[in-house]
Structure 1
Amino acid sequence: MIEFFIKNNFYANLGLGDVQEKVMEGKRLSREDGLRLFECDEPLAVGTLAHHVRTRMHGRKTYHVVNQHINYTNVCVNGCVFCAYQREDESRTGAFTLSMADVAAKLDANAAEPNEIHIVGGCHPTLPLSYYEELLALVRERLPHTVIKSFTVTEIAHFASLAKLSTAEVLTRLRTAGLDMLTGGGAEIFDPEIRQQICPRKIDADEWLRIHGEAHAMGIRTNCTMLYGHLESREHRVDHLIRLREQQDASGGFTCFIPLPFLTENSKLKVPSPLTGLEQLRTIAISRLMLDNISHIKSYWIMLGVKVAQAALKFGADDFDGTVVEEKIGHEAGADSAQSMSVQELEGMIRGCGMEPVRRDAQFNEV
Structure 2
Amino acid sequence: MSTEISDLLAHAADGGRISPDQALLLYTDAPLHALGEAADAVRRRRYPDNIATYIIDRNINYTNVCLTACKFCAFYRAPKHEEGWTHSDEEILRRCGEAVELGATQIMLQGGHSPDLGIEWYERIFSAIKGEYPTLTLHSLGASEVVHIGRVSALDHAEVIARLHTAGLDSFAGAGAEILVKRPRTAIAPLKEDGETWLSVMETAHRLGVESTATFMMGTGETNAERIEHLRMVRDVQDRTGGFRSFIPWTYQAENNHLKGRTQATSLEYLRMIAVARLFFDNVNHLQGSWLTTGKDIGQLTLHFGADDLGSVMLEENVVSSAGARHRSNRTELIELIRSAGRIPAQRDTLYNHVLVHADPALDPVDARVHSHFSSTALTLLPVASAAAS
- With normalisation by structure 1, the TM-score equals 0.92
What is the match of residue 357 of structure 1?
Answer: 345
User: By how many angstroms is 1:331 displaced?
Assistant: 0.1
Indicate if the aligned counterparts of 1:181 and 1:221 stay in contact, CA closer than 8 A.
Answer: yes
Give the 5 Å matches for 1:1-367. 11-12=1-2, 15-40=4-29, 42-59=31-48, 60-93=50-83, 95-110=84-99, 111-338=101-328, 341-342=330-331, 344-367=332-355
Q: Is the 8 A contact 1:90 1:96 kept in 2?
A: no
User: In structure 2, do the counterparts of structure 1 residues 105 and 146 end up closer, same or farther at CA, with 3 Å as the change threshold?
Assistant: closer
| Change in 2 beyond 3 A, CA 1:56/1:167 | same
C-alpha distance after superposition, 1:323-358 (max 9, x if no partner): 2111001101110112x523x222112111111112
Which amino acid letter does the alignment assign opposite residue 257 of structure 1? F
Amino acid at match of 1:183: A
Q: In 2, distance between residues paired with 1:256 and 1:131? A: 28
- CA shift for structure 1 position 289: 1.0
1:109 to partner: Cα distance = 2.6
For the residue of structure 2 that corresponds to 1:16, the secondary structure is helix
Deviations 1:180-223 (A, max 9, x none): 00000111112212121110111111111111111111111100
Change (3 A) 1:53 1:259: same
Alpha-carbon RMSD across the aligned residues, in angstroms, is: 1.5
Q: How far apart, in 1, do the equivalents of 2:148 and 2:22 lie?
A: 37
- Total equivalences in the alignment: 353
Report deviation, 1:39: 1.6
Rounded Cα–Cα distance in structure 1 between residues aligned with 2:102 and 2:264: 37
Report the Cα distance in structure 1 between the residues aligned to 2:29 and 2:2, rounded to whole angstroms: 12
| Secondary structure in 2 matching 1:105 | helix
Structure-2 separation of matches of 1:33 and 1:177: 43
Q: Contact 2:221/2:263 (CA < 8 Å) preserved in 1?
A: no
Q: Which runs of 4+ in 1 moved over 4 A?
A: none
Gaps of 5+ in 2: 356-390
Alignment TM-score, normalising by the size of structure 2: 0.87
Counterpart residue type for residue 91 of structure 2: D
Moved more, 139-148 or 280-289: 139-148
Q: What code does the residue aligned with 2:295 have?
A: G
Alpha-carbon distance change, 286 to 188 in structure 1, aligned in 2, over 3 angstroms: same
Q: What amino acid maps onto 1:55 in structure 2?
A: R
Q: Is the 8 A contact 1:231 1:271 kept in 2?
A: no
Distance in 2 separating the partners of 1:347 and 1:61: 11
Q: Is the 8 A contact 1:70 1:117 kept in 2?
A: yes
SS in 1 for 2:326: coil
> Contact 2:53–2:345 (CA<8 Å) still a contact in 1?
yes
2: CA distance, partners of 1:284 / 1:50 = 8
Name the aligned partner's letter for residue 119 of structure 1: L
Residue 239 of structure 1 and its aligned partner are, at CA, apart by 0.6
Q: CA deviation at 1:285?
A: 0.9
Q: Distance in 2 between matches of 1:164 and 1:24?
A: 47
Instruction: From the superposition, tell whether residues 123 and 88 of structure 1 become closer, same or farther in structure 2 (CA, over 3 Å).
Output: same
Contact 2:286 2:307 in 1 (8 A): yes
Are 1:113 and 1:143, in contact at CA under 8 Å, matched by a contact in 2? no
The CA distance in 2 between the partners of 1:164 and 1:80, in whole Å, is 23
Residues 322 and 341 of structure 1 are in contact (CA less than 8 Å); yes or no, is this contact kept in structure 2?
A: no
1:26, CA displacement in angstroms?
1.5
1:12 deviates by 4.1
List runs of 5+ in structure 1 lacking aligned partners: 1-10
- Give the CA deviation at 1:273: 4.7
Residue pair 1:245, 1:293 contacting (<8 A) in 2 also: yes
In 2, Cα distance between equivalents of 1:166 and 1:259: 29
Deviations 1:241-269 (A, max 9, x none): 01111100011100011102111122211
Q: Which amino acid aligns with 2:121?
A: Y
Displacement, 1:90? 4.0
